[in-house]
Amino acid sequence: MTSAPAGLPEKIQHYIDGQLTDSVSGEWFDVLEPTTNETYIQCASGDKADVDLAVAAAKRAFDEGPWPRMLPRERARILYKVADEVAAMNERLGAIESFDSGLPIRQAKGQAVRAAENFRFFADLIVAIEDNAFKMPGRQINFVNRKPKGVAGLITPWNTPFMQESWKLAPAMASGCTVVLKPAEFTPASAQLWTEVMENAGVPNGVFNIVHGFGESAGDSLVKHEDVRVISFTGETTTGQTIYRNCAATMKTMSLELGGKSPAVIFEDADFEAALDSTLFGVFSLNGERCTASSRLLVQRSIYDRFVEAYVERANKIKVGPPSDPTTELAALVHPEHYKKVMEYIEIGKGEATLAAGGGRPDDLPEGNYVQPTVFTDVPRTARIFQEEIFGPVVAITPFEDEAEALDLANDVKYGLAAYVWTNDIKRAITFSQAIESGMVWINSHNVRDLRTPFGGVKGSGLGQEGGYRSLEVYTDQQAIHVTLGDVHTTRFGATGYSENDPGLAGPGA
Ligand code: NAD
């Protein structure tokens, strides 16, 4: 067994009602280290029994505890402490995340800073947010009573796991919900740090719970639990579809952030070097395991050959190596199962398009989940590598003649998460962006986010949008309270006589 990085316990356990616990069943699963695929730690394998305990603890904390009843400022103070605790563990988190998920250490570092920012942002928002009141002078006042929904189930993927978890934990907890987190089974290690963070910040027991385990058991039980009022899920589109169906039985609110096959459209007037840098980073950073990766490059025919040549030259120079090496740009994929899937797509691609770079394992890295940066060119729109999410360091490049063809190609997939448009023609940049079927578009940039903006996809990329106040909408109900001022006018059923002023069914009107 390879040894675990410093800062992790011997085994990874669930966290329920403020206590680290084994599974009720006593089951464990192996967690692999991506550069050797050896087991380095064991993780408690939860199922329905553990989910039942965690949801019961979260429900108790919601029904009886202080968390949903605190003044926004009080809760915000605790969330600020959470943020400080998270930021203080940047080095430690970076090392654990990189070891566990195979992310290059240079890219794993900084995840804590970003995660901390999520907590500060939502702490600020709950203090500043306004709710509506509607006045009808002399007759009625109506106001919105925003209420946390209750127990929130948070189900997260293995790419940038800690950051993804923070993106759900922060708005859910800020809203006053209590939570059960089900981290991805490939990468459960960094979730363990939350237990320390929450305790040090003074989050009351039961507000934050973790159940580890497989999607089909722990995840499924959380989705189906009748006391869970909202599920926020990030993961594959097919899993999202299953969860969508399973939420119906208990009529839960859902937020689904799913897969993508995002186009970067590069027009002939684009800033060539900037587009080159950005589209290389967009698909090869985070090992290509990135939902918003620019995995399809659509390049205008007049600059196509020049762009492809420059792109391939740079892709061949990307440094593939161990995640712990600070000079590594692309490291090991998360798990052998995922590695196999990516390699299968590369083989499929060889029969569908021209392989221009990479195409297999680097010669100098005989073990572990390493893949060369792989570039396919002249990829037809019918190709599976054009249509399907690979979620690895593989890019499909396709030429287009004009704007109409570019738009047609951009939209001709089942996904609609992100898009990137490269042009210096302002009119084209905006009209083209508006016509793209995607939840987010970046013009002359890769994915750099402002936390206030909507985040989410359309079509196969998701349901519902988070980001800014929209995240709070996922975790709260808005109850309308109507108050009569003055006299109430009611049609008098059963009373004798008919009044000229009988209001019938009409309300007071706006
Ligand atoms: P996945 O769907 O396999 O798993 C995600 C989570 O769901 C895991 O915790 C898993 O255990 C759980 N799960 C699996 N089956 C379940 C079920 N039946 N019921 C309940 N839970 C279940 O996804 P993954 O492979 O971990 O992550 C990669 C995917 O996530 C990619 O498709 C990527 O695009 C997507 N992603 C999307 C975004 C976004 O914001 N749109 C962000 C990151 C990743």
pLDDT tens for each residue of 139-153: 999 999 999 999 999
The pick from 236, 241, 474 for probing ligand 1's pocket by mutation, whose C-beta has the most ligand atoms within 8 angstroms, reads 236
Q: Comparing C-alpha atoms, which of 460, 468, 473, 51 is closest to residue 256? A: 460
* For ligand 1, atom 38: residue with the closest CA: 291
Which amino acid, 34? P
Pocket test residue of 45, 111, 118, 159 for ligand 1, highest count of atoms within 8 A of CB: 159
Buried-exposed string 281-312: b where 16+ CB fall within 10 A, e elsewhere: ebbbbbbbbbbbbbbbbbbbeebbeebbebbb
Tell me if 259 CB under 6 Å of ligand 1. yes
CA gap 222, 51 in Å, rounded: 6
Comparing CA positions, the residue from 64, 123, 113, 58 lying closest to residue 90 is: 113
Substitution site in 29, 101, 155, 335 for ligand 1 pocket (most atoms within 8 Å of beta carbon): 155
Q: Cβ(37)–Cβ(370) under 8 Å?
A: no
| Spacing, Cα 77 to ligand 1 middle (Å) | 31
Cβ neighbours of residue 73 closer than 8 Å, sequence gap 6 or more: 127
pLDDT on residue 120:
98
pLDDT in tens, 361-377: 999 999 999 999 999 99
Cβ–ligand 1 distance for 100 under 6 Å, the answer no
Mutation pick for ligand 1 pocket among 291, 335, 415 (CB with most ligand atoms within 8 Å)? 291
Q: How far is the CA of 236 from the centre of ligand 1 (A)?
A: 4
Q: What is the pLDDT of residue 7?
A: 79
Can you give the pLDDT at residue 140? 94
Out of 43, 291, 352, 466, which one is annotated catalytic? Answer: 291
Expressed in angstroms and rounded, the spacing between residue 258 Cα and the centre of ligand 1 is 7
Question: Which secondary-structure segment (H or E) carries 175?
Answer: helix 161-175
Does residue 178's CB lie within 6 angstroms of at least one atom of ligand 1? no
Contact 210, 57 (CB under 8 A): no
Q: Which two tokens stand for residue 311?
A: 């792109």
Catalytic residue chosen out of the listed positions 257, 289, 352, 473: 257
Separation of 17 CA from ligand 1 center, angstroms? 26
Q: How far is the CA of 90 from the centre of ligand 1 (A)?
A: 25
Please tell me the predicted confidence (pLDDT) of residue 5: 81
| Closest C-alpha to ligand 1, atom 12 | 215
Distance 239 CA to ligand 1 centre (A): 6
Q: For residue 184, give the ligand 1 atom closest to its CA.
A: 9
Active site residue 97: no
CA of 271 to the centre of ligand 1 (A): 35
Say if ligand 1 is within 6 A of residue 391 CB: yes
Strands across the sheet containing 140-148: 133-136, 140-148, 476-484
Confidence (pLDDT) at 495: 87
pLDDT at 32: 97
Determine which residue's CA is closest to atom 14 belonging to ligand 1: 215
Q: Is the CB of 220 under 6 A from ligand 1?
A: yes
CA of 474 to the centre of ligand 1 (A): 18
Residues 6+ apart with CB under 8 A from 273: none
Report the pLDDT value the prediction gives residue 501, as an integer from 0 to 100: 65
Residue 291 designated active-site: yes
At 172 the pLDDT is 98
| Residue 101, helix vs strand vs coil | helix
**Sheet of strand 11-12, all strands in order from the earlier edge strand to the far edge:** 11-12, 38-44, 28-33
Residue 94 near residue 111 (C-beta atoms within 8 A): yes
pLDDT value at position 490? 86
pLDDT at 166: 98
156: Cβ below 6 Å to ligand 1? yes
- Answer whether 4's CB lies under 8 Å from 40's CB: yes
Residue numbers of the chain with a pLDDT score lower than 70: 1-2, 497-510
Atom of ligand 1 minimally distant from the CA of 160? 43
